[in-house]
């Protein structure tokens, strides 16, 4: 379609406009959950730091316990945090528990199921093999080893690894500052009583939630009236707050009351593109105000939220240095009903999912796809993706979806 750029190109341009990730900061490990690493995590210690038993039983010399019926003399105990400090000699054994250090001289573990203890004598019921049930020193990782790469998001498993590696603090990307500006005389804040010709602003709340889930901190610039002075004052507040990304909501089209693009131009906007071959969300704007990235989203709430998923979240992840920022998160599904041929815009249709006995879910788009209908979006479980000029499709045909109940990162 004339003047419209494809969705993939729009996303590529937005990601390319992120010149460098945001700076790093050092935080305690206990406050690093969900943060993105600004440098690799290198271990300060070896894990395990000693040969350790993988089972409860008896530390033995394989040469002494390689025969059924052999008798061993019990000379001590090795428990986690309370290792046996002596050395095992010929014909000797030490009671040992999982995770405890293997005493010097021992080279195998006789598990307790294969032993018969009586006083200080242990009888071998099953012959052992050298190294059996011993976790060698450094089996997991070694001091100086790089364990986690820059750009990874710290989840439970990665935090556990960093802790085991002896790292009480980590260097992570600071949270990008995302300023959100709703525009329009028709809007009032949630909790305020709207006049008969007004509605409650919902987009800013939705975009703040998306931004924070993606790893940003948000700056609420409130609602700017359809007035050049009010818009320009809000834009200046965003710059003064040091926003890395400004999201404007509404007013980016070409109507008489759509003033955002003009106000941005007067502030020095370097326009990247405007208008995308997308439904919902055609009047999408992108550019820069100095070091601040700008994404102007449509005013219709469904359009705004869908564009938030498609463009704002990847932009934030790029600001965080996430190498997977632009990764396609769609997945295969099976179409649940017939669809007519698509026009020249990519269509992201609100839809429900049905899990059947097959490997793939069945996706059924809602009958009504109006971009103002939040109730439809609220009950939807996925977006059914239709490519521009997609031919008519039949129930049972393969398709692609974006699940709405999955975490964004």
61: domain CATH number is 2.170.190.11
Task: Return the pLDDT at 253.
Answer: 58
> Residue 373: helix, strand or coil by DSSP?
coil
Same domain? For 117 and 168 the reply is no
Same domain? For 30 and 169 the reply is yes
Same domain? For 312 and 341 the reply is no
pTM for the model stands at: 0.89
First to last CA, the chain: 32
Stretch 32-60: mean pLDDT: 97
How many distinct structural domains can be found in the chain? Answer: 4
Same domain? For 290 and 214 the reply is yes
Q: How far apart are CA 195 and CA 169, in angstroms?
A: 52
Which percentage of the chain shows pLDDT scores above 90? 87
Same domain? For 285 and 215 the reply is yes
> Residue 246: helix, strand or coil by DSSP?
strand
Domain assignment of residue 408, yes or no: no
Mean pLDDT in the chain? 94
Domain assignment of residue 409, yes or no: no
Stretch 151-172: mean pLDDT: 97
Task: Return the pLDDT at 257.
Answer: 47
Contact 404, 384 (CB under 8 A): no
Q: Is the pLDDT of residue 247 over 90?
A: yes
Same domain? For 131 and 110 the reply is yes
Beta strands 71-78 and 121-124 are antiparallel
Q: Is the pLDDT of residue 175 over 60?
A: yes
Q: What is the residue range of 39's domain?
A: 24-47+145-173
CATH number at residue 152: 3.90.105.10
357 band by pLDDT with thresholds 50, 70 and 90: confident
| Residues 304-350: tens digit of each pLDDT | 999 999 999 999 999 999 999 999 999 999 999 999 999 999 999 99
Structure tokens, 18: 């992120």
> Which stretch of DSSP H or E encloses residue 9?
helix 7-16
Of 71-85, 156-170, 256-270, 395-409, least confident by mean pLDDT is 256-270
Domain assignment of residue 1, yes or no: no
Q: Is the pLDDT of residue 302 over 70?
A: yes
CA distance to 24, 32, 35, 166, 312, per residue, from 215 (Å): 14, 11, 7, 25, 11
Q: Is the pLDDT of residue 283 over 50?
A: yes
Domain assignment of residue 254, yes or no: yes
Q: Is the pLDDT of residue 358 over 80?
A: no
Task: Return the pLDDT at 95.
Answer: 98
CATH number at residue 291: 3.40.980.10
Output the DSSP codes for 254-288.
Answer: SSTT--HHHHHHHTT-EEEEE-BSEES--S-EEEE
In sequence order, the β-bridge partners of residue 52 are 101, 135
Domain assignment of residue 140, yes or no: no
Stretch 168-189: mean pLDDT: 95
| Residues 72-86: tens digit of each pLDDT | 999 999 999 999 999
Q: Is the pLDDT of residue 219 over 90?
A: yes
> Which stretch of DSSP H or E encloses residue 401?
strand 398-403
Task: Return the pLDDT at 134.
Answer: 98
Stretch 242-258: mean pLDDT: 77
Nearest to 95 by CA among 117, 128, 67: 117
Stretch 52-80: mean pLDDT: 97
Task: Return the pLDDT at 2.
Answer: 57
Q: In this structure, how many other beta carbons lie within 10 angstroms of the beta carbon of residue 294?
A: 26
Stretch 349-377: mean pLDDT: 92
Q: How far apart are CA 106 and CA 86, in angstroms?
A: 11
261 band by pLDDT with thresholds 50, 70 and 90: confident
256 band by pLDDT with thresholds 50, 70 and 90: very low
262 band by pLDDT with thresholds 50, 70 and 90: confident
Q: Is the pLDDT of residue 255 over 70?
A: no
Same domain? For 300 and 245 the reply is yes
């Amino acid at each position: 379609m004339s003047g419209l750029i494809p969705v993939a190109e729009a996303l590529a341009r937005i990601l390319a406009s992120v010149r460098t990730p945001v700076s790093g900061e050092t935080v305690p490990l206990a406050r690093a959950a969900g943060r993105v690493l600004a440098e690799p995590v290198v271990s300060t210690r070896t894990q395990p730091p000693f040969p350790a038993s993988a089972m409860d039983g008896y530390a033995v010399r394989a040469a002494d316990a390689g025969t059924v019926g052999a008798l061993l003399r019990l000379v001590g105990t090795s428990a986690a945090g309370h290792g046996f400090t002596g050395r095992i000699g010929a014909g000797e054994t030490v009671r040992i528990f999982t995770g405890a250090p293997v005493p010097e001289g021992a080279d195998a573990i006789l598990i307790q199921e294969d032993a018969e203890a009586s006083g200080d004598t242990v009888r071998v019921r099953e012959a052992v093999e050298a190294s059996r049930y011993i976790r060698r020193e450094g089996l997991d990782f070694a001091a100086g080893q790089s364990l986690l790469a820059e750009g990874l998001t710290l989840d439970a498993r990665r935090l556990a690894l960093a802790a085991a590696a002896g790292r009480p603090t980590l260097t992570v990307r600071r949270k990008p500052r995302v300023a959100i500006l709703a525009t329009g005389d028709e809007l009032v804040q949630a909790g305020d009583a709207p006049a008969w010709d007004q509605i409650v602003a919902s987009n800013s709340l939705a975009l703040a939630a998306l931004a924070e889930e993606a790893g940003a901190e948000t700056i609420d610039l409130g609602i700017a009236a359809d007035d050049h002075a009010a818009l320009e004052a809000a834009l200046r507040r965003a710059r003064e707050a040091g926003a890395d990304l400004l999201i404007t909501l509404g007013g980016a089209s070409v109507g008489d009351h759509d003033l955002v693009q003009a106000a941005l131009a007067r502030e020095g906007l370097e326009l990247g593109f405007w208008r995308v071959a997308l439904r919902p969300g055609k009047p999408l704007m992108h550019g820069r105000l100095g070091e601040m990235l700008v994404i102007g989203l449509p005013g219709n709430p469904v359009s705004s939220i869908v564009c938030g998923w498609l463009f704002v979240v990847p932009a934030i992840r790029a600001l965080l240095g996430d190498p997977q920022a632009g990764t396609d998160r769609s997945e295969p599904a099976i179409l649940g009903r017939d669809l007519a041929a698509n026009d020249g815009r990519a269509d992201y249709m609100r839809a429900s999912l049905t899990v059947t006995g097959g490997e793939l879910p069945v996706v059924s788009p809602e009958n009504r796809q109006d971009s103002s209908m939040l109730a439809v979006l609220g009950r939807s479980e996925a977006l059914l993706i239709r490519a521009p000029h997609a031919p008519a499709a039949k129930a049972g045909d393969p398709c692609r979806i974006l699940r709405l109940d999955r975490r964004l990162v």
